[in-house]
Amino acid sequence: MTKANPIMVEPAPCERPAAAAGHEWWRGATIYQIYPRSFADSNGDGIGDLPGITAHLDHVARLGVDAVWISPFFTSPMADYGYDVADYRDVDPTFGTLADFDALIARAHDLGLKVTIDLVFAHTSDRHAWFGDSRSGRKAAHADWYVWADAKPDGTPPNNWQSVFGGPAWTWDARRRQYYYHQFLKEQPQLNLHLPAVQDALLDVVRFWLDRGVDGFRFDALNHGMFDPALTDNPPATDNRQRTRPYDFQLKTFSQNHPDVVGFVERIRAVCDGYGAVFSVAEVGGDGAIPLMKAYTAGNHRLSSAYGFDFLYAPKLSAQLVASVMRDWPGTPDADGRDEGWPSWAFENHDAPRCLSRWADAAARPAFGRMTITLLTALRGNVFLYQGQELGLLQDDIPFHLLKDPEAIANWPLTLSRDGVRTPMPWDAGAPHGGFTSGDPWLPLSAGNIARAVNVQEGDPVALLAHTRAMIALRRQHPALRHGTIEAVEARGDVLTFTRRADGETIACAFNIGASLQLHKASPGDVIVAINGADAAHLPAWGAVLVRESAA
């Protein structure tokens, strides 16, 4: 290898290998997130849909991933673009029909892809039939399915809890002459997950989709699902972070993270186990997330994995950050002897800005992109790739008059718009709107991202698309990378090193997360990956080398 060549990856077999014997298919899997509004539009209305996803699943399969995660496509008035569900058991007409979903499942399975969907159980839409009945009166069949409380004597809300999207987390409802609780938009009333009947109804939703062939679930905002029933005021935050919303001014001591969520998690797992090897991942955000992530995934009777936020909003990627995060998940049993849960990692998603826009300047992005894909696929845990990440898409700047994101509109200009990471997927640089739609796209595509379209990178051996495919294939090929332990994690300046080990295989990994040449002495063995001019002794800017160590 010469240093002029930016990439050297050990050739991998073309076939899609099965999960290693004795390991669930999802352990160490690579999962591709699809945001359906922005993936592919099949009918020219400017909004992506389920048939559009089905038509482009070949691209996803060629990446070599194990599964897709599809963000909500359920019936919704779209106040929060699908995260306000009005019917958990149907498809919103914007996205298609249940028959379209069945066709998507069939095509994905034909291609060897598992299908994971997003379930939003902390709240529903205010248009959900359950809420319509609940607000009709205090003796209604669903009266207690949501969180209602009387006003204080002066008419103000029951406590000081604040909404993520701005203002009090309580809205007055004249029908009940009470306030109802909503951690997000007022159009997203909070379900009362403390009530067994609510849990039973939601578990029936899980069964409904499993019966249609779904292979797994991401449970959105799961730690928001329960609260202190006494409605105790949250204490003020005392740190020195910049505060852009009222929500940021208090600790969420009583409004979320209730320990009883674990009991609901165990009920979910019991249902999933009845259907076989079903993947379940919890989204757990906010301060103090790691203990909750571990609680929700400990042992073999809770969820499969928890989705980490450590990298999603980090303004800078550093060796120290990665080392710290990896040390939090060593894979050892907890104090009670339960096996530690399995983490999942993402560098970007539908809520978090594109990682190359956050972490690298324009000149460094080609090399930096190769390094981040190599790093993500070398970490212990599941890998989540967000649509377009394999192309190196950047965060788009959406002007205020075109914003759709309710959080960004409410907190303009201090909250970064989520719309900038939700812009449509570019398929064909020569087609109108990058081949996403024949109509007017719901969000604009930038010229820069259209130039990174799939058809531009297809067949280019040094494009990020080719490198992403190679790294996913390599991860599948090597047990140490897919499901091995992570050991000897060290950060020395910009150099990050760690060792992956499984099934008699040991792979030493070294990354230069910096712009200056670093010297490095690799262990004896076969170099299976070297990028950006790296070799066993040198790590140039954003260089990385993975060595399969020789047997002793």
Q: At what angle do helices 196-211 and 261-273 cross, to 10 degrees?
A: 30
Measured on CA atoms in the order 449, 410, 345, 71, is the torsion positive or negative?
negative
Count of domains in the chain?
1
Catalytic residue among 66, 187, 220, 405: 220
Which tokens sit at 337?
A: 């002897």
Q: Which residues pair with 220 in a beta bridge?
A: 120
Question: Is 458 considered catalytic here?
Answer: no
Quote the domain boundaries for residue 325: 24-126+195-476
Asked if the structure places residue 273 within a domain, the reply is yes
pLDDT value for 1: 34
Do 422 and 39 meet the contact criterion of CB atoms below 8 Å apart?
A: no
Position 157 in a domain: no
Catalytic residue, candidates 41, 118, 215, 283: 283
Please report whether residue 521 resides in a domain.
Answer: no
What is the pTM (predicted TM-score) of this model?
0.95
What pLDDT is recorded for position 339?
77
pLDDT score at 549: 92
Q: Look at residue 9 and tell me if it is in a domain.
A: no
- Report the distance separating Cα 68 and Cα 303, nearest Å: 18
Q: Is residue 74 part of a domain?
A: yes
The answer to whether residue 488 sits within a structural domain is no
Q: Which residue from 267, 265, 300, 299 is spatially nearest to 282, judged by alpha carbons?
A: 265
pLDDT in the model for residue 20: 57
Question: Which amino acid, 290?
Answer: I
* The predicted structure's pLDDT at residue 2: 34
Chunk the chain into consecutive blocks of 10 residues (it has 552) and report each block's average pLDDT, rounded to whole numbers.
55 54 87 98 98 98 98 97 97 98 98 98 98 97 98 98 94 97 97 98 98 98 95 92 86 95 97 95 87 92 93 96 94 74 95 96 97 98 98 95 89 85 98 98 97 97 97 97 95 97 96 96 92 95 95 63
In a domain, 168, yes or no: no
pLDDT at position 224 is: 94
Angle at 419 between CA 416 and CA 422, to 5 degrees: 130
Check residue 4 and give its pLDDT: 40
Pairing status of strand 87-91 against strand 7-9: unpaired
144 is catalytic: no
| Cross-sheet strand order for the sheet of 148-149 | 148-149, 178-181, 170-173
CATH of the domain at 445: 3.20.20.80
| Residue 160 included in any domain | no
